Structure 1
Amino acid sequence: MISDHLNQWLTEHADLLDSGHINEAELLPKLAADEVFKIGVPTSLGGVGGEVADSVEAIAQVASQSLTAAFVFWGHRAFIEYLLQGDNPELRERLLPSLLSGELAGATGLSNAMKYLAGIESLGIAVRKPIDDSKRLLDGVLPWATNLRKEGFVVAAAVEVENEQPLIAALPSHLAGINRSDDLDLIALRASNTASIKVENASLTDEWVISHSANNFLPQVRPAFLAMQCGMSIGLARRCLVAAKQQLGPTRSALRDDYEGVDRHLSHAGKQLQKGLSKQRFIKHPAELFAIRLTLAEVVANAAQLELQASGGKAYVHNAANGFARRWGEAAFIPIITPSVVQLKAELLRHQEVLFI
């Protein structure tokens, strides 16, 4: 699905992307040049057609070489999905061309909103003062957002509105009052343009509203948000398993059953994800998607551990060529991506309690 050229570039630059020792502005245009952002976007809107499941697979293929690149891919493609499913066609038509070309970076910014939807936390941005029916002043913070490209970005955010439903807004970097922090000092994925946003007295007009009904919009878009996120886990687990299999010689044959078990769980989770997307089950049955996301986080951890065991001591020797140290760090990131493993477990328990009652 991704080209050999992109695959080779990601292979050669994966460690640099992870460490941040690269011009981070290169990544988004490189992905866009391969037209990966057009996957799952209708041809009538400038895409190449397909479904969300196709985007999941493309993200997985990128993640098998670089989780940093896949993280940026996910954030950008998630924002595109918000426009596709939103109720503002003018905004969609205005932003899509520059998003698909990689000229403008899209950031999801809805991690806070997804936690709000699950009752985990309140919204971080609120209308401070309505000016009139179509203009509002905003204040608040997005503590973590990815793909906040310094050359220009637009970030999606849920906004609390007093006595009304929250709305989903697109906040462009050029808007007065949108302040990007320096990049967060991450231990990995450092070329992902991950930073925080402080919103101070920013004026929001209706032309930048993706949806006026966050409570309806978020459950509708959550399957794509989480499924494409799962693509990161699938791709990383695949790569760890490939590396582990290469080491399963006579001295490591005791690990073969473990390898087959992890591979089987990965395959099953991937099929369940594809099936749920095709039948659109996850809108009404989100707990099923939460369970798949949890399973994939466990599969990644097991795959990385298997690669370590199969490689033995040489995995612990600094060697940029084998990429193990990077993948180990990437695997540590999977459980904390919002919604985190802890949050998902709590949400599944809540669903079980409701069913029990």
Structure 2
Amino acid sequence: MQIDLNKRTFKQIINENLKPIIRKIDEESYYPKEFLSAVGQAGFFSSSNLQKENIRCREIYLIEETARYCMTSAFTLWCHLAALTSARLSNNPFVKNELLPLLESGEVLGGTGLSNALKYYAGIETIRLRADKTEGGYTISGSLSSVSNLDVDHWFVIIASINLHRIMCMIPTKIKGLELESKTNFVGLNGSATYSCFFNNVFVPDKWIITEQADEFIQKVRPTLVLYQIPLGIGVSDASIESIVESHSKNVEVNHQVKSQLRELMNDIEFIRKRTYEYAQYTELTVILKEILLTRLEIAKLTPKIVYEDMLYSGSPAYMQGSDSFRRLREAYFLVNLSPTVKQLEN
């Protein structure tokens, strides 16, 4: 496993740009924009002269390590990397040569509005955005219930239907005809800058089109998006296991009564971690999509189990306001409901 990353520099970014604001993110719906920008400015989004296998390993590590401290921030990181993945695969000159460098430098941050589309391709929903061809581009109308990692200067990826096929494009949040409505009524992840998006004849020029064959293109993107969700659970689980070990060392007489197979849980997480990085080494992820989906289901079931054990081991401190253990419990329930959800994965 190769990770093209200065881990010491990334740890410093976490210490300086993330740790001081974790409670603010969780309790005040604060969006960790400065953290994401710092990661980009340090060069950790760059793909220049790197093999895609090494890029995947690096980005899995970024998500995993961030999730150890704050899954909200790790999820916003996942959103940006999802936008990056789509842009990197596009053959559109503007997307590839002008927008992609801005996304990789962290100067521009990206979100993803693909939840509805992924549910469509899973046979669960219809596409909620409609595109009509017009001179120089398309007009798009419809709505998306939840799009994360958005701010006034961000871009995000969407898929819209036109007749019998679909297009994928990347659009800025500051565009005529687009209305954003903030959503902060979640039990966790309120700092993820999530919005409902309403499109009223939004004009999208041809140069913003990632692909006009989204049905084929999404098959190349989807495996990476799902693979990058697995380290969300690994990071949170690791933090909970560390908390269990610390609590056990302080309260041995009490905690020996809690019948948790801690070593088994640690081995399970390590096995999933190893498998995740092995998946990243494949040249084409499409050939192992089923395995990736099954591992995504595994982590979605294992993470809540581990954070619950953390609550038991930590005892009464876990039930206090500002408790890291309780925050991780709420974050774990988000992972269960993140598309593809456990219900979708089990079907």
Contact kept, 8 Å, 2:170 with 2:209, in 1: the verdict is yes
Q: Is the 8 A contact 2:260 2:309 kept in 1?
A: no
Residue of structure 2 equivalent to 1:110: 114
Matched, 1:146 2:148: yes
**Partner SS for 1:130:** strand
Residue in structure 2 matched with residue 274 of structure 1 by the alignment: 277
Superposition map of 1:174-323 within 5 A: 174-249=174-249, 250-251=252-253, 252-253=255-256, 255=258, 258-280=261-283, 282-318=285-321, 320=322, 323=324
What SS does the corresponding residue of 1:37 show, helix, strand or coil?
coil
SS in structure 2 at match of 1:147? coil
The structure-2 alpha-carbon separation of the partners of 1:8 and 1:193, relative to structure 1 and needing over 3 Å to count, comes to same
Task: Report the AA paired with residue 290 of structure 1.
Answer: L
User: How does the TM-score come out when normalised to structure 1?
Assistant: 0.87
- SS state at 1:50 partner: helix
Q: Quickly say closer, same or farther: Cα 1:287–1:254, change in 2 above 3 A.
A: farther
1:248 alignment partner, SS class:
helix
Which residue in the other structure is 1:12 paired with? 20
Residue 329 of structure 2 corresponds to residue 328 of structure 1: yes
The Cα of 1:43 is off from its aligned counterpart by 3.6
Q: Residue 11 and residue 58 in structure 1: after superposition, are their counterparts in 2 closer, same or farther (change >3 A)?
A: same
Whole-angstrom distance in 2 between the partners of 1:23 and 1:334: 19
Equivalent residue, structure 2, for 1:349 = none
Question: TM-score, normalising length from structure 2?
Answer: 0.89
Instruction: Determine helix, strand or coil for the equivalent of 1:65.
Output: coil
Name the amino acid aligned to 1:306.
Answer: E
In the alignment, which residue of structure 1 is the partner of 2:4? Answer: none
Task: Give the aligned residue type for 2:189.
Answer: L
**Structure-2 separation of matches of 1:11 and 1:173:** 28
Q: How many angstroms apart in 2 are the aligned matches of 1:142 and 1:27?
A: 26
For residue 74 of structure 2, what is the aligned residue in structure 1?
A: 70
Cα drift, residue 34 of structure 1: 3.8
- Residue aligning to 2:3: none
Give 1:305 deviation, angstroms.
1.1
Structure 1 residue aligned with 2:101 = 97
Say if 1:48 and 1:285 are closer, same or farther in 2 by CA, change over 3 A.
Answer: closer
Distance in 1, Cα, partners of 2:158 & 2:166: 10
Q: CA RMSD in A?
A: 2.3
Question: 3-12 or 209-218: which moved more?
Answer: 3-12
Write the distance in 2 (CA, Å) between the matches of 1:288 and 1:23: 33
CA deviations over 1:36-85 (Å, ceiling 9, x no partner): 333xx2348xx999321220111100110111110111101110111111
Q: How big is the shift at 1:95? A: 1.0
Change (3 A) 1:23 1:203: closer
Structure-2 change in CA distance of 1:26 and 1:183 (3 Å): farther
Deviation at 1:7, TM superposition (A): 2.4
Shift of 1:255: 4.9
Q: In 2, Cα distance between the equivalents of 1:65 and 1:179?
A: 32
Q: Is the 8 Å Cα contact of residues 42 and 50 (structure 1) preserved in structure 2? A: no
State the identity %: 22
**Which one of 88, 93, 101 corresponds to residue 92 of structure 2?**
88
Structure 2 distance, partners of 1:48, 1:109, is 23
Q: Measure how far apart 1:23 and its partner are.
A: 6.4
**Which amino acid letter does the alignment assign opposite residue 35 of structure 1?**
G
Aligned to 2:44: 36
Query: In 2 relative to 1, CA 24–263 (structure 1 residues): closer, same or farther, beyond 3 Å?
Result: closer
- For 1:267 and 1:305, the matched residues in 2 are separated by 18
Inter-partner Cα distance in structure 2 for 1:91 and 1:281? 22
Query: Does the residue aligned with 1:310 lie in a helix, a strand or coil?
Result: helix
Q: Aligned partners of 2:281, 2:59: CA distance in 1, in Å?
A: 13
Counterpart of 2:81 in structure 1: which amino acid?
A: R
User: How far, CA to CA, are the matches of 1:48 and 1:130 in structure 2?
Assistant: 34
- 317 and 24 in structure 1: CA distance in 2 versus 1, 3 angstrom threshold: closer
Does the residue aligned with 2:133 lie in a helix, a strand or coil?
Answer: strand
Residue aligning to 2:159: 158
Deviation digits for residues 114-148 of structure 1 (CA, Å, limit 9, x no counterpart)? 11111111111111x3224x422211112111111
Q: Distance in 2 between matches of 1:57 and 1:4?
A: 12
Report if the CA contact (8 A) 1:19-1:189 is conserved: no
Q: 1:15, 1:326 within 8 Å by CA — same for their partners in 2?
A: no
Q: 2:63 aligns with which of 59, 66, 71?
A: 59
CA contact (8 A) 1:139 1:202 kept: yes
